Amino acid sequence: MDFSAIQGLWGGLEVAIQPVNLLLCFVGVVLGTLVGVLPGVGPVVTISLLLPLTFGLDPVAALIMLAGIYYGAQYGGSTTAILLKLPGETSAVLTCLDGHEMAKQGRAASALGISAIGSFVAGIFGTLVVVMLAPVLVSVALKFGPADYFSLMFVGLIASVLVCQGGMLKAVAMIFVGLLLGIVGTDVYTGIARFSFGQPELRDGVNFVVVAMGLFGFGEIIANLEQGTVDGKLAQKVRNAFPTRQDLRQSWKPILRGTGIGAALGVLPGAGAAVGAFAAYAFEKKISRTPQRFGHGAIEGVVAPEAANNAAAQTNFIPLLTLGLPSGAVMALMAGAMMIHGIAPGPDVMTTRPELFWGLIASMLIGNVLLLFLNLNLIRVWVRVLQVPYALLFPLILLLCSIGIYSLNNSVFDVGLTALFGVLGYFFIKTGCEPAPLLMGFILGPMMEEYLRRALVLSHGDVTVFVTHPISATLLGVAVLIITTLVWRPAATVFRKASGAAPAQPTTSIPADTGA
């Protein structure tokens, strides 16, 4: 770590401990834990809901709060997983397996406590990785030209497909749907209102809050109502969340391993917190001398994925803060939040807005300390939250979403459009299409068009610029590599089945980190 990073972090801490920022950090992590605990409400909906309310705030304070919701949700998700065997968040799917077994054996307090501690260690470590890695990547990113940026976004979008469930082909198509929806509105160069069809409301484009709330918020609610939800009253009553000394002895190594895996995977575009958790669980099971204990209350199976998803939730910010590349649905929303406040996400943020860059990172350290306290000591409160019936919760979400969208532009049209996206979201759930790539494409669409234009203007219409510039060429090479493996894997499976050989290993399906 070079010295300037420490200096930057120190300056950031001074920003983060300002009373307003401290308060909003607290609000963010409390809300994050809350929506993490509640199944069916996630950070994507919550962040898009609160976004309109942050218009009047200082951008630093707004981003600190929104970030807190995301990593706070990773803490809360484990509570529901352990007590109800229901993932409060997608990334807590694996915590259900052994966590709920531990609870059934009367070790709920241990599981909850050790999850919180593991999450804390991972959250702090993940933030320190951001501190160390971000300045390095920023200096690399400053060398990027328009062609390089175009290729970078292309790779980012392609990579996001890797983690999608239910067909890569559909996930790629969803990216393009997002790209197209993203360019609805007035073209900045010519002033032509594209695809607005005479609707004055569409001239400014479709608001991404409308897209996010419709697809994630309303779509999920419809699906939840259809399936019926689990009764929160089944949750065990727990008084506290403190692990025993033996728990700590057994789990410190898995915590560190999970942290490392999560932090590394979190940096990659597309790999959200869920992927880190899956990898960490699989790794622990593999290296364990007693793999048969997994699924029957093995503490390693609880702490490793919990640590991994928290570490990943922090390092997820790296591509956004340094390259301006959102690596998932939540980061796409964060990018949108920055743009609303007039900040273009990218390498310039660190130099032009150091108080924002370092203030946000430093707030994560504070946020994680707050979360440790909230999750160890206030566990009774969160268990009570679980008892809120869905019949009260879903009208509340509908109401909050409606007010939020309406207050964006005082527009009835926007609310109707969100309802339309709700229908679309339900259609996507029914037909097995992941909405997260759509949101990423939506955010990146206008940027990609812009960089494509600029790159071609600079090269005087020479399309080879994308392969002759070394950075761009390397990035496109990575994209080709990813596409090859995407095509190769299903093809190889088909071939293996055809030749009658036994499948080498059952493929675990990894749910994409929709965060909904």
- Binding positions for another protein, rule: CB under 8 A: 53, 167, 169-170, 172-173, 176-177, 179-180, 183, 187, 189-190, 192, 194-195, 218, 221-223, 225-226, 390-392, 394-396, 398-399, 401-403, 406-407, 412, 415-416, 418-419, 422-423, 426-428, 430-433, 445, 448-449, 452-453, 456-457, 460-463
| CA geometry: angle 77, 283, 479, nearest 5 deg | 85
Give the total residue count for the chain: 516
CB of 479 to another protein, least distance (A): 14
CA-CA distance, 317 to 269, in Å (whole number)? 10
CB of 499 to another protein, least distance (A): 19
Question: Taken in order 116, 120, 121, 122, is the CA torsion positive or negative?
Answer: positive
CB of 484 to another protein, least distance (A): 17
Strands, E, within 20-63: which ranges? none
Cβ contact 368:376 at 8 Å: no
CA-CA distance, 348 to 320, in Å (whole number)? 12
Instruction: Tell me the DSSP string of 210-279.
Output: HHHIIIIIIHHHHHHHHH----GGGSPP-S-----HHHHHHHHHHHHHHHHHHHHHHHSTT--HHHHHHH
User: Which CB, 111 or 447, lies closer to another protein?
Assistant: 447
CB of 391 to another protein, least distance (A): 4
Among residues 366, 333, 360, the alpha carbon closest in space to that of 516 is found at 333
User: Which CB, 204 or 226, lies closer to another protein?
Assistant: 226
CA-CA distance, 448 to 158, in Å (whole number)? 13
Distances (CA, A) of 399 to 35, 215, 405: 16, 16, 10
Helix, strand, coil % over all residues of the chain, rounded to 5:
75, 0, 25
Among residues 427, 421, 463, the alpha carbon closest in space to that of 442 is found at 421
Quick one: tokens of 185? Answer: 């509105």
Quick one: tokens of 91? Answer: 């990334």
CB of 145 to another protein, least distance (A): 17
User: Which CB, 244 or 484, lies closer to another protein?
Assistant: 484
**For residue 246, how many other CB atoms are within 10 A of its CB?**
10
CB of 493 to another protein, least distance (A): 12
Q: What are phi and psi of 504, to 5 degrees?
A: -65, -45
Cβ contact 185:194 at 8 Å: yes
User: Which CB, 50 or 318, lies closer to another protein?
Assistant: 50
CB of 482 to another protein, least distance (A): 16
CB of 18 to another protein, least distance (A): 22
CB of 5 to another protein, least distance (A): 38
User: Which CB, 12 or 214, lies closer to another protein?
Assistant: 214
User: Which CB, 222 or 256, lies closer to another protein?
Assistant: 222
